[in-house]
Amino acid sequence: MVVREFAERGADLELVGIQKRFPGFTAIESLDLTIPAGSFFALLGPSGCGKTTTLRLVAGLEEPTQGRILIGGKDVTATKSHQRPVNTVFQSYALFPHMTVLENVAFGLKRRRIGDPLGKAHEALRLVELDHLAQRRPQQLSGGQQQRVALARAIVNRPALLLLDEPLGALDLKLRRQMQLELKSIQEEVGLTFLHVTHDQEEAMTMADTVAVMNKGAIEQMGAPEVLYELPRTTFVANFLGQSNLFTGAVVATTGAAITVEAGGSRIVVPTARAQRHQGEVTVGVRPEKVVLHLEEPTATPDRNLLGPGRIIDVSFSGVSTQYIIETPGLGTVLVFAQNVGMGPAAAVGDEVWVSWDVEHGFGLDDDPAEAGRFPADASTRSIAVQQREALVTELEEN
């Protein structure tokens, strides 16, 4: 690997009061975000949540309706895209097929008349461990190798900020996982600031130091991947970042250590410190892998929540684990992920079972169960036509 001096350390990125409105809909409501220099930051969310619009605003491919964009403390809101210390790696690698790998990486340096373009290109290729293929053409490389060439081309001119727009989406599962680790390793080695946009939860959690989960133009929750997973604050985060068993009911008891929620005739205890709301109607939950399946009714203990009896309505064997869906009276279905430590599933469809989990593994959400959507629907013919035109323009620009 090339030493850290290959590139200057990345710069801070700061978004202040960013709003982006298109005719007929709001892409970003009001976004304030600071990404420290040298960090690997992921914007995670479903299609239409505003993450790609945010990336395009930072790149200078879109202009904000309101707000400011600062890179390294410098306001670049009105700066053209080619004048910003930013490079982007897209899902489509956009390599020139008639050029060698080395020529592809050196292309931008030559256009900007930067000294020793071939030497710098070799240096970037050594960083991604592809210098031995410098004379090949892109079509002679695998998908993963092409992705690394695109990365080398993006970092060769030492941008303060590297934008990654779902760069691994075209790769198969095994190669994608390999590239996740390699990208993280390269980011740590070079020290640039990486802003990674993705809808893949595993990808974000594997690579990023900090993950921001976006929904309907706003950040629902931001923090370290393990914190977001273990302690989601909203229903959206709990369900988008993995899967969750959620139960809604009234708080019937509160102590300094825990709250008790009555849901569907059952009582569920959650630590006060892990609950966002402590009175009224609340939603509490637990991750499926934290739940234990019992074929016989266990003895109730104060440190465990116990539900049942219920009946298994589906069993899915996935190799590493078995997924059980249990119909529980008054509570609907409960999902259990059981690690496969024996020979196949331990229970079958139709079996009567109980489920339990450690009280310390539960969490309470901040949602108001009756809360309305953030934006009113706008499905007029005009707004749909505008959206389709904008999508086409975006696609043409990226290609």
Of the residues 177, 203, 229, which one is the last residue of a structural domain?
229
Q: Is residue 317 part of a domain?
A: yes
**Which is it for strands 86-90 and 161-165: parallel, antiparallel or unpaired?**
parallel
pLDDT for the residue numbered 173: 75
Q: Which of 209, 229, 249 is the last residue of a domain?
A: 229
Same domain flag for 25 and 154: yes
Say how far apart CA 29 and CA 66 lie, in whole Å: 10
In the chain, how many domains are there? 2
Distances (CA, A) of 384 to 36, 387, 397: 37, 5, 20
CA atoms in the 13 A half-sphere facing the CB of 341: 3
Same structural domain, 50 and 119: yes
Burial of residue 292 (CB within 10 Å: 0-12, 13-18, 19+) is: middle
Strands (DSSP E) found in 255-366: 258-263, 266-271, 281-286, 292-294, 304-317, 321-328, 332-339, 352-358, 363-364
Instruction: Please tell me the predicted confidence (pLDDT) of residue 6.
Output: 38
Residue 198 placed within a domain: yes
Q: Is residue 141 part of a domain?
A: yes
Backbone angles phi, psi at 162, to 5 degrees: -110, 125
Is residue 397 a part of any domain in this protein? no
CA 244, CA 250: separation in Å to the nearest integer?
A: 19
- Please give the structure tokens belonging to residue 56: 């395009």
The residue assigned the tokens 């030559």 is 110
In whole angstroms, what is the distance from residue 35 CA to residue 201 CA?
Answer: 19
Contacts for 371-374 with beta carbons within 8 Å, 24 or more apart?
373/216, 374/29, 374/215, 374/216, 374/217, 374/218
In a domain, 291, yes or no: yes
How far apart CA 233 and CA 236 sit, in angstroms, is: 9
374 within a domain of the structure (yes/no): no
> What confidence tens digit (pLDDT) does each residue in 20-68 have?
998 888 899 889 999 999 899 999 999 889 999 999 999 999 999 999 9
**C-alpha–C-alpha distance, residues 273 and 25, integer Å:** 38
**Residue-wise DSSP of 195-207:** EEEES-HHHHHHH
Whether residues 224 and 252 share a domain: the answer is no
What's residue 387's pLDDT? 54
What CATH number is associated with residue 317?
Answer: 2.40.50.100
Q: How far apart are CA 29 and CA 189, in angstroms?
A: 35
Task: Say if residues 325 and 312 touch (Cβ distance below 8 Å).
Answer: yes
- pLDDT in the model for residue 106: 93
Tokens of residue 370, six digits: 């009756």
CA distance 225 to 319: 25
- Do 11 and 97 lie in one domain? The reply is yes
Return the residue matching tokens 């509160």: 254
Cα–Cα dist 331/36, whole Å = 43
Q: What pLDDT sits at residue 399?
A: 54
Tell whether 60 and 128 lie within a shared domain.
yes
Q: Which domain holds residue 88?
A: 4-229
Q: Are residues 338 and 281 in the same domain?
A: yes
Answer yes or no: do 191 and 273 share one domain. no
Are residue 204 and residue 277 in the same domain, yes or no? Answer: no
Count other C-beta atoms under 10 Å from residue 319's C-beta: 6
156 with 299, same domain? no
Q: Specify the pTM.
A: 0.80
Residues 249 and 106 grouped into a single domain = no
399, part of any domain: no
CATH number, domain containing residue 124: 3.40.50.300
Please give the backbone phi and psi of residue 390, each rounded to the nearest 5 degrees, phi first: -60, -40
* DSSP β-bridge partners for residue 195: 41, 163
pLDDT in tens, 161-195: 999 888 777 677 777 788 788 888 888 888 889 99
pLDDT of residue 305: 97
Divide the 399 residues of the chain into consecutive groups of 10 and give the mean pLDDT of each group.
44 94 89 92 91 93 95 93 88 84 91 88 89 93 86 86 83 77 82 89 90 93 95 94 94 95 95 95 96 94 95 91 94 93 80 97 88 40 50 60
**Listed residue (88, 105, 87) closest to 96, CA to CA:** 105
* Length reported for the chain: 399
For residues 25 and 385, give the distance between their C-alpha atoms in angstroms, rounded to a whole number. Answer: 12
Q: Are residues 210 and 83 part of one domain?
A: yes
Q: Where a domain ends, among 200, 229, 258?
A: 229
DSSP strand pairing (304-317 vs 352-358):
antiparallel
Same domain for 112 and 258, yes or no, is no
In a domain, 383, yes or no: no
What residues form DSSP beta bridges with 325? 314, 335
Sheet with 363-364, side-by-side order of all strands: 266-271, 258-263, 245-254, 281-286, 363-364
Closest CA to 358 of 296, 295, 298, 302: 302
Q: Which amino acid is at 218?
A: A
